Chains A and B, each alone.
Chain A
Amino acid sequence: MSPRITGAVAVRVLIQLRRDRRTLAMLLALPCLVLTLLWWMFDGPAGGPGFSTLGPALLALIPFVVMFLVTSVTTLRERSTGTLERLLAMPTGKGDFLGGYALAFGLVATVQSVLAVLLSHWVLDLQVAGPVWMLVVVAVVDAVLGTALGLFVSAFARTEFQAVQFMPLLVIPQILLCGLFVPRDQMPRVLEAVSNVLPLSYAVDAMTGVATSTGSGLGGVDASVWSDILVVVGFTLAGLALGAVTLRRRTA
């Protein structure tokens, strides 16, 4: 890996995003809109406890889903237009390519999450027991997880249609089983076991942990939050490693 090339890839991805104003606007505004809708549905201006129970899970979910979609489509485009082949015929390392994307989208995810967290906490009155900035940390980790998985699945799609179809296949089951609808420990045992090996479960647990508990440890949160974050980081690294395997310099 070379910092020069990784940086070049990240800057290029950001320039592309800046040019695509509509996508950029959606990336930043959509999470806020969805959260507002959720707040309105549960609490409304009258107030109530619903938003504070589900809000954290949504804050974890949205960056993951959005980055998964954006990344799988953009990298698929790189594969199909031949720019990926060109880059790999140049001195680009696979790590440069993956790292550049993770860096650029990680940055976008940070802005996205800061906006969503600011809105949720100060406007929509989300109750957060732990430090508010930790919500952003968890959201960014989730977004990078989405990026990593998106990079990986893009190898198995030949068209953008197929890439988008990976969302119901890989993402919706995770949403169903992450504890958003039924607490994970109250699910049938088989499903609970399945949810234990899905990364989004840990992402949601970490976010809920920040919102509902405090601790004396690092970042003022319970130690379980950090262990959940570590699991998510582990899945991210595994996703990137699998993604690297699918980037081939030589093809048949």
Chain B
Amino acid sequence: MMKNEPVVEVRDLVVQRGRVRAIRDLSFSMPAGEVTGLLGPSGCGKSTLMRAVVGVQVLTSGTVEVLGLPAGDRRLRDRVGYVTQAPSVYDDLTVTENLRFFCRVLGAPAGEVDRCIAAVDLGSRREQVVSRLSGGQRSRVSLAVALLGSPELLVLDEPTVGLDPVLRRDLWAMFRELAAGGTGVLVSSHVMDEAERCDRLLLMRDGALLAEEAPQELLQRTGTEDVESAFLSLVDQAREAA
């Protein structure tokens, strides 16, 4: 995959969930080889947008393309890794059993199991049943599953919530490393300070994008010191314009 070739291309996306318009006419493109951060307060539509990218969300209108194919296409199913907010792993299986199962489903080489367990630093817990792990460890098992088979696009919904700062740093280092290797990484967070670790930011509020740019550009444009203030200044600007 060429660097800067879009891995994700979202055009005029609208998603209605029940009575709520979760995504209101949103467009962006995401290049490979970068870590794109999707930031915004809880409830702003981040998860819905990620579900649309993975192809598990019913779209109201607009298009989502991933690696040049419609999101959710059969051919994408082993090329996109996805971590939801709830750790989607089996509580009553051990770490290794979980990984081994999903590895067989993906048809990835068996060696992937050990590699991915090591990548999330769960080597010492590998024979433990997931229900006995802490919340943070569980979400790392879920992350390890998403890493199986080295997918070309990783969609990670708040993968670092509740994690120890050291581990959080290590995981971000891993995302950067994966991106450097050409993987597209889309990470959501409601913690604005994680923004600085991204190559590009998508700031989201009420189902729409407030900004789509590199962290430095964002700070310069808004004349602020940190992403949180930039976010507030953009919200104020939008209010004044309305």
Contacts and interface: CB of A to CB of B under 8 A. Distances in A.
A1 to B, nearest CB: 13
Interface string A1-38: 00011011101100110011000000000000000000
A15 B72 contact: no
17 contacts: A4-B104, A5-B104, A11-B101, A12-B97, A16-B93, A82-B88, A86-B84, A86-B102, A89-B77, A89-B80, A90-B77, A90-B105, A91-B105, A92-B105, A249-B55, A250-B55, A252-B17
B105 A87 contact: yes
* Most chain B CB within a 10 A radius of its CB, from A11, A89, A252: A89
Nearest to A250: B58
B194 interface: no
A15 B56 contact: no
Contact of B82 (A7, A8, A89, A250): A89
A88 interface: yes
Interface range, A side: 20 to 34
B105 A8 contact: yes
Nearest to B129: A19
B217 interface: no
5 tightest A-B CB contacts, nearest first: A82-B88, A8-B104, A86-B88, A91-B77, A12-B101
A20 B92 CA distance: 8
A186 interface: no
A142 B91 CA distance: 29
A82 B86 contact: yes
Interface string B1-39: 000000000000000011000000000000000000000
B116 interface: no
A91 B101 contact: no
Interface residues of B, number: 31
A7 B104 CA distance: 9
A82 B72 CA distance: 16
Given A85-B56, A92-B105, A250-B56, A15 B97 contact: yes
A90 B78 contact: yes
B156 interface: no
Contact of B58 (A5, A85, A251): A251
- The B interface, classified by DSSP as helix, strand, loop or mixed, is loop
B105 A19 contact: no
A83 B87 CA distance: 8
A81 B86 contact: yes
B54 A89 contact: yes
B84 A82 contact: yes
B118 interface: no
- The A interface, classified by DSSP as helix, strand, loop or mixed, is helix
A115 B194 CA distance: 58
B93 A15 contact: yes
Contact of B88 (A15, A16, A20, A81): A81
Contacts of A16: 90, 92-93
B106 A90 contact: yes
Contacts of B106: 90-91
Interface in A115-152: none
Interface string B68-91: 000010100110101010111111
B97 A91 contact: no
* Most chain B CB within a 10 A radius of its CB, from A9, A83, A91, A92: A83
B222 interface: no
Nearest to A96: B105
B145 interface: yes
A12 B93 contact: yes
Contacts of B91: 81
Nearest to B104: A8
Contact of A250 (B72, B87, B97, B107): B72
Contacts of A15: 93, 97
Given A86-B84, A90-B106, A249-B56, A19 B78 contact: no
A5 B18 CA distance: 34
Contacts of A11: 101
